[in-house]
């Protein structure tokens, strides 16, 4: 059985004492084991939200460009599309004759 050990690194931050106490209180009230766990979970959640939002915007911009290109530079209809149109027109013409 193979297990992967993920390399770890440190993250240090300087902040005012009152802010640290505020964060520690939130960590305690939130049921976190310690401040580090609270900070990592909060930052992870925020990072996921930001990345998801930005990726959605990027995807939306790409979709917009694809749509614009399709409208401004349409491809010629394929033979199967032409046949489908002819079949539809025949169907509509026959339906109109039956309703008269």
Q: How far is CA 81 from the centre of its chain?
A: 33
Residue closest to 74 by CA, chosen among 64, 66, 84, 82: 66
In a domain, 10, yes or no: no
**Range of the structural domain that residue 86 is part of:** 17-95
pLDDT tens per residue across span 49-98: 999 999 988 888 888 899 989 889 989 999 999 999 999 999 999 887 87
In a domain, 70, yes or no: yes
DSSP 83: H
In a domain, 55, yes or no: yes
In a domain, 8, yes or no: no
In a domain, 57, yes or no: yes
Residue 100: per-residue pLDDT: 64
Residue 35: per-residue pLDDT: 96
pTM value? Answer: 0.57
Structural domain count, the chain = 1
pLDDT tens per residue across span 3-24: 788 899 998 999 999 999 999 9
pLDDT bracket for residue 43 (50, 70, 90) = very high
In a domain, 1, yes or no: no
At residue 16, the 3 state secondary structure works out as coil
């Amino acid at each position: 059985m193979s297990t992967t050990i993920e390399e770890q690194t440190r993250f240090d931050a300087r902040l005012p004492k009152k802010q640290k106490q505020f964060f520690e209180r939130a960590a305690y009230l939130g049921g976190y084991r310690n401040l580090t766990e609270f900070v990592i979970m909060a930052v992870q959640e925020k990072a996921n939200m930001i990345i998801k939002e930005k990726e959605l915007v990027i995807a939306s911009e790409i979709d917009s460009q694809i749509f614009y290109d399709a409208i401004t530079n349409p491809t010629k209809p394929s033979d199967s599309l032409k046949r489908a149109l002819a079949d539809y027109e025949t169907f509509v013409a026959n339906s109109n004759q039956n309703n008269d």
